[in-house]
Structure 1
Amino acid sequence: MSEALRILRMVEEHWEQLLNKIEQTDNEWEREALVTRGLINLLSPLYCHSESNYYRDAALLPWIEQGVECLLNDQLDSGCISLVNCNIDSPPDTAFQVHGTAVALHVLERSGFPELSNVIGGIKLFLERAKPCLLTGGIHTPNHRWVMCGALANMYEIFGDEAFKQRAFQFLDEGLDITDYGEWTERSNAVYNSALAIHLIDVADVFEHMPSYEAVRRNLLMMQYMFHPDNHIVTEYSGRQDLGQRATMNDWYYTSLHLMASKDRNPVLIAMAALAEETAQVGSNALMYWMLYPEKMTLPEGQIEPMSENYTVLLGEGHRVRVPVDVPYGNQIRRHPYGAPLVRHRRGKLSVTVMSGQPELLYIQFGNSRMVGYKLGLGWFGIANVSFPSIEQVGDSRYRMDIELEGCYFDYLPPEKVQGLNGSFVDMPNLERTKTHVSKLQAAVEFELLDNGLNIMLISDNVPGIYFQHVFQFDPMGKIDGDGIRPTDIPGIQQLAKGYAVYEYEGDCIEIGPGEKKHRDVVMRNEKPNPDVIRLTINSVTPLRQTLSIRCYEARQ
């Protein structure tokens, strides 16, 4: 069976399942939630593909027409649509819609079937009405710019109006926000990487904008290091809604990888495209690209080398990002800063991510078992958990993160600074207060990466008596055991007072230790424990030169 035919059968099955749900519901609101503008993209390839079980099926046409009716009804007077639970009267969400609608339009027009004239007319009416939305509309997020540019390229291709190209280059001239190693601002491996890939390929194709091709290429090549052993995508450092989510590649990844692998004939991209054929959640978008561009979607012939499962890479080396340092000021720092360095380490079943710029410093997966986060808590002016600004390689397999934290108090304000404020502290220029009793705490963490785990070395010895807490967070699907584990008065939180603890899920084990209990705090001040994980802590006190061992292995049968 050809790849396109395989996807066709999947799309047919999707429609049959959806139709069954529609027919089974008696609730009008639930039916409206199922009958949406999404029917256009789902059913257009089924109606037009010559090998489809629904090829020119008259019963399908009213459903497509309902999809067009929903599309037009969803459009506001501005020409925009809304993401109804978030973005109202939204140019970026209209741009997302334009991309998919334009692809469906090309499929429908290429068929030449006269009975589709009303459907094609309705889609063109939507696009005509969307012109002012895209020509004047703004954005919220960095990725919105390139989605808008992709939609403007689609509109330029359909209508030929130079205004669309001029508008696109108003955004493109800002420069593409991608690092040298291929990461976008939002660091969203499971969602927005693929969204930008598919839209920027349109920009590159239609406007002959070679930097767009290079950005897509660079990001997709970075993604070779972003898969865990079960082919789920690395999401533990995302700056968007896919943070910590379990996700495989999607339709956009599938399509973008095939287009770029065919174009570049790069062995890594070819291997990733082959992996997408095995694992990606594909549907009508990929099917329509196969129908429209079969030559561009076909992978080069020859032996496909599997993707490497044995590597250690430091991405973003030398870059430093802002993290909370002057603790009492309560600085508002972006949670996942752009370009924060990270290390990816794979040894077959073992997958490790070391992360700067965020409180979650470490992720470990061994086969099916997952330590979803390691945080370092401090009893230091209410900081809760420490984030480190960078990562430095200090040996063949050793990586170091360090920071100097400042704590202090604040003096009085002179009378002229508080005059007329009636003692209202919140209205005072408090950042102008002079510091007193300034203290500096130095802390460093080193990770030694091994074939079967890693060692964590914690160093903080310039200020005695400071509480530290190692916080290990595990997937709740597994279980944790060890003679040195002690319960706490907070559900879901246990402390490792001595010895070693073993987390196990489906026969795959992560062992941690040795434990100790040098103070009694269950949670560091101002930390909000995640209730959805198994949480294990080790309590330590400075001065510290402490080594913890993490080892991964299969359970003995």
Structure 2
Amino acid sequence: MLNHFISTIPLFDAGIRRLLAAQCMDDASVNYGATVDFRKGFPEASCGIAAACITAFYTPESEFYKNPELLNRACLAMDYQLAKQHEDGTIDLVETNFHDSTSNAFNIQGLGPAYKILRRFTSHSPEEDALEERLYRFTKASGDAMVNCGFHTPNHRWVVSGALALCYSLLGDESYLHHIHRFLNEGIDCDENGEYTERSAGTYNIICNRSLILIAHELGMPELYDHVTRNLYLSMKYFEPDETICTMNSTRQDAGTDPSISAYYENFLYMAIETQNPEFAWMADYLQTKNLARFTLSPSSAAGSTAYFYRFLLEPEFVQKMLATPTKPPVPKYETLFVESGVYRYRDYDLSFTLIQNQPMFAKLQYKQHRVFFRFAGSFFGTLGQFQAQEILPIDNGYRLHYHARQGYRRPFMEKPDTWKWRDMDHSKRETVCVQDFDVNLDFSVHGNKLNVTVSTCGCERVPVKMELLFDAGGLYETPDTEFFTKPGDYVFWKRGTCQYRYSDGCAFVLNGGFYAHHYGATMRGSCGASPQCFTIVTTGFTPVEQVLSLSVE
């Protein structure tokens, strides 16, 4: 395995330079000592500045080693942070959460390792002692706040526990350890496939993994690595051919985004060393050589490296263990149905295919960086017609998405109700008549570079339906007698036969089997409506429908 410590130093130093340039040094400003978030126009916590400066100050390989200005900058950052800390010890995540002890936890996960570095290497100069006193005050108040206050989301339990593990290691307060075990007693919410509750492959998987790694190391609980191992293997099955992460089934803010797989770098690095897993080691090496230049992109990037630098500095044997870790490339070829998560994933090197339960965007076919998404809807009693698969079922040579809806009409009450107020009436006592069913089966099978889709409906007749295929705009749409360059929001009806969608690099999706019965598409009642960002190809019909489509990659 590569030496991730030494090769990252130049990138880390570049990040420090950007951080120092961004830190507000105007003593008349309300932001003095902090860094203004470019997107928000105000600072959040400044602990990351202190953590990065401390780490660089005590790293012999860094160009900032023993540079006294870093201690000054760290003190200024901590002064800003302490001034923002409430009497109960909590701090704010100004963009949304106030008196939020979980914000303390996120910050302690970065600051705690730097505090450990300072305590190990301090020469007890007046400047170092002054900084350590600030770190103690913030850490003690934060630890107490995390014990005495609460959390919002499932991942926060492990973020708080990871931070408290650092606080316990630093301060030895038994109440911290007791609080951690209260959370652990709830059980780790990581299923047998490695999926956490929030299914957040782009954000909170990484945070949960990092937190469990901290708890395992600081409290000597290596059994927690098993959960992280399962999640990393699952997460690798969410990696797309263009090295983004499939987030279609996330329940958090990363849903539908395309984050880089480099977000998992630190997870792979630590787990490779701790468990001697050769596939994780290969991933860490690959991401380091390909993606670590991100540390030079923003002032906050240097702070992000602090949490994994500390063990390289504090444990020389950790570096040797890293260098002795074998590597083995994972094979990007698999087919997996995650039943509990409601996700099917297929990967064959440059081609991937995804099915998602309980989402209107229920399928995605991707070849390299090019992708097409699928939606289906029928104009059935308002919102009841928007297809969201209730089941993913294995069938011969593929998988079926099934959806069922039922609706009817209500009759008058047989007896006078207790109230004239509509919302207070017990409508379950009404007779329901003219009940109609709407059943849709979408069958998918992948054969080499070709995806077959069978559309089958039954139940209520004459329901207008549509199948939408959503592409990234900017390509060339071609039929035997028409072609045009697409732009965002374009919406075309595919009547029959063959069409194709070609990109500037020569790659094309070839579509066969279109059908057409109406042009009630973009404005169909109860459906998601046309996408303003995508180019959409639509096929339409009236129930019952029995049709076969195919998409091939050329």
Instruction: Look up the SS of the partner of 1:59 in the other structure.
Output: helix
* Structure 2 Cα separation of the partners of residues 59 and 95 of structure 1: 27
1:8 is matched with: 9
2:279 is matched with: 268
Q: Deviation of residue 30 (structure 1)?
A: 8.0
Q: Deviations over 1:493-522 (max 9, x none)?
A: 222223333333342322333322212212
Verify: 1:113 aligned to 2:134, yes or no: no
Q: Deviation of residue 8 (structure 1)?
A: 1.8
1:467 is matched with: 464
* Structure 1 Cα separation of the partners of residues 156 and 189 of structure 2: 12
Q: Deviations over 1:234-282 (max 9, x none)?
A: 212211111122212456x323322222222233323332333233656
Correspondent of 2:270 among 246, 259, 262: 259
Contact kept in structure 2, 1:342 and 1:356, CA below 8 Å: yes
Contact kept in structure 2, 1:448 and 1:456, CA below 8 Å: yes
| Greater displacement, 307-316 / 425-434 | 425-434
Correspondent of 2:333 among 310, 315, 318: 310
* Structure 1 Cα separation of the partners of residues 171 and 71 of structure 2: 26
Letter paired with 2:512: G
1:515 is matched with: 514
Q: Deviation of residue 378 (structure 1)?
A: 1.5
Q: Taking structure 1 as reference, are residues 290 and 509 closer, same or farther at Cα in structure 2, changes over 3 Å only?
A: farther
Instruction: Look up the SS of the partner of 2:252 in the other structure.
Output: coil
| Greater displacement, 278-287 / 260-269 | 278-287
Identity %: 25
Which ranges of structure 2 fall in alignment gaps of 5 or more residues?
Answer: 37-42, 296-303
Q: Taking structure 1 as reference, are residues 166 and 480 closer, same or farther at Cα in structure 2, changes over 3 Å only?
A: farther
User: Which has the bigger relative contact order, CA under 8 A and spacing at least 6?
Assistant: 2
* Structure 2 Cα separation of the partners of residues 55 and 128 of structure 1: 28
Contact kept in structure 2, 1:465 and 1:542, CA below 8 Å: yes
Q: Taking structure 1 as reference, are residues 175 and 21 closer, same or farther at Cα in structure 2, changes over 3 Å only?
A: closer
Verify: 1:48 aligned to 2:48, yes or no: no
Q: Deviations over 1:377-411 (max 9, x none)?
A: 1111122521112212223x411122332112223
* Structure 2 Cα separation of the partners of residues 26 and 501 of structure 1: 64
Q: Deviation of residue 311 (structure 1)?
A: 1.7
Q: Taking structure 1 as reference, are residues 22 and 91 closer, same or farther at Cα in structure 2, changes over 3 Å only?
A: closer
1:325 is matched with: none
1:341 is matched with: 342
Letter paired with 1:227: F
RMSD over aligned Cα, in angstroms? 2.9
| Greater displacement, 3-12 / 261-270 | 261-270
2:314 is matched with: 292
* Structure 1 Cα separation of the partners of residues 404 and 130 of structure 2: 67
Q: Deviation of residue 26 (structure 1)?
A: 13
* Structure 1 Cα separation of the partners of residues 25 and 495 of structure 2: 56
Instruction: Look up the SS of the partner of 1:85 in the other structure.
Output: coil
Letter paired with 1:493: Y
Contact kept in structure 2, 1:390 and 1:401, CA below 8 Å: yes
Letter paired with 1:40: A
* Structure 2 Cα separation of the partners of residues 37 and 478 of structure 1: 46
Contact kept in structure 2, 1:262 and 1:299, CA below 8 Å: yes
Instruction: Look up the SS of the partner of 1:511 in the other structure.
Output: strand
* Structure 2 Cα separation of the partners of residues 506 and 225 of structure 1: 28
* Structure 2 Cα separation of the partners of residues 442 and 485 of structure 1: 36
Q: Deviation of residue 22 (structure 1)?
A: 5.4
| Greater displacement, 124-133 / 503-512 | 503-512
Q: Deviations over 1:91-119 (max 9, x none)?
A: 22221112111111112222223232212
Verify: 1:198 aligned to 2:210, yes or no: yes
Letter paired with 1:542: T
Contact kept in structure 1, 2:147 and 2:175, CA below 8 Å: yes
Letter paired with 1:375: R
Q: Deviations over 1:279-301 (max 9, x none)?
A: 36564233334323454465464
Verify: 1:501 aligned to 2:499, yes or no: yes
Q: Taking structure 1 as reference, are residues 186 and 432 closer, same or farther at Cα in structure 2, changes over 3 Å only?
A: farther
1:83-102 mapped onto 2 (5 Å cutoff): 83-102=93-112
Instruction: Look up the SS of the partner of 1:78 in the other structure.
Output: coil
Letter paired with 1:292: L
Contact kept in structure 2, 1:484 and 1:496, CA below 8 Å: no
2:450 is matched with: 453
* Structure 2 Cα separation of the partners of residues 124 and 26 of structure 1: 24
* Structure 1 Cα separation of the partners of residues 336 and 72 of structure 2: 53
Contact kept in structure 1, 2:378 and 2:527, CA below 8 Å: no
| Greater displacement, 528-537 / 349-358 | 528-537
Q: Taking structure 1 as reference, are residues 29 and 518 closer, same or farther at Cα in structure 2, changes over 3 Å only?
A: farther
* Structure 1 Cα separation of the partners of residues 478 and 377 of structure 2: 23
Structure 1-normalised TM-score? 0.86
Q: Deviation of residue 27 (structure 1)?
A: 11
Aligned residues: 524
1:421-436 mapped onto 2 (5 Å cutoff): 423-431=420-428, 433-436=430-433
Verify: 1:365 aligned to 2:362, yes or no: no
Q: Deviation of residue 188 (structure 1)?
A: 0.6
Which ranges of structure 1 fall in alignment gaps of 5 or more residues?
Answer: 317-338
Instruction: Look up the SS of the partner of 1:82 in the other structure.
Output: strand
* Structure 2 Cα separation of the partners of residues 16 and 170 of structure 1: 42
| Greater displacement, 454-463 / 410-419 | 410-419
Q: Deviation of residue 550 (structure 1)?
A: 1.0
Q: Deviation of residue 436 (structure 1)?
A: 2.2
Q: Deviations over 1:462-481 (max 9, x none)?
A: 43212221112222354544
2:357 is matched with: 356
Correspondent of 2:441 among 437, 440, 444: 444
Instruction: Look up the SS of the partner of 1:520 in the other structure.
Output: coil
Contact kept in structure 1, 2:198 and 2:250, CA below 8 Å: yes
| Greater displacement, 47-56 / 106-115 | 106-115
Q: Taking structure 1 as reference, are residues 458 and 27 closer, same or farther at Cα in structure 2, changes over 3 Å only?
A: farther
* Structure 2 Cα separation of the partners of residues 486 and 256 of structure 1: 45
Q: Taking structure 1 as reference, are residues 107 and 452 closer, same or farther at Cα in structure 2, changes over 3 Å only?
A: same
1:320 is matched with: none
Q: Taking structure 1 as reference, are residues 99 and 22 closer, same or farther at Cα in structure 2, changes over 3 Å only?
A: closer
Q: Taking structure 1 as reference, are residues 432 and 66 closer, same or farther at Cα in structure 2, changes over 3 Å only?
A: farther
Letter paired with 1:536: I
Q: Deviation of residue 302 (structure 1)?
A: 6.8
Q: Deviations over 1:27-70 (max 9, x none)?
A: 95787543733211222221111011111112222211111112
Verify: 1:381 aligned to 2:388, yes or no: no
Letter paired with 1:387: Q
Contact kept in structure 2, 1:484 and 1:515, CA below 8 Å: no
Letter paired with 1:159: L
Contact kept in structure 2, 1:484 and 1:497, CA below 8 Å: no
1:545-556 mapped onto 2 (5 Å cutoff): 545-553=546-554
Q: Taking structure 1 as reference, are residues 434 and 261 closer, same or farther at Cα in structure 2, changes over 3 Å only?
A: farther
1:123-138 mapped onto 2 (5 Å cutoff): 123-138=135-150
Contact kept in structure 2, 1:265 and 1:300, CA below 8 Å: no
Q: Deviation of residue 221 (structure 1)?
A: 1.6
* Structure 1 Cα separation of the partners of residues 194 and 413 of structure 2: 48
Q: Taking structure 1 as reference, are residues 41 and 155 closer, same or farther at Cα in structure 2, changes over 3 Å only?
A: same
Contact kept in structure 2, 1:465 and 1:541, CA below 8 Å: yes
Contact kept in structure 2, 1:409 and 1:435, CA below 8 Å: yes
* Structure 1 Cα separation of the partners of residues 352 and 207 of structure 2: 25
Letter paired with 1:517: Y
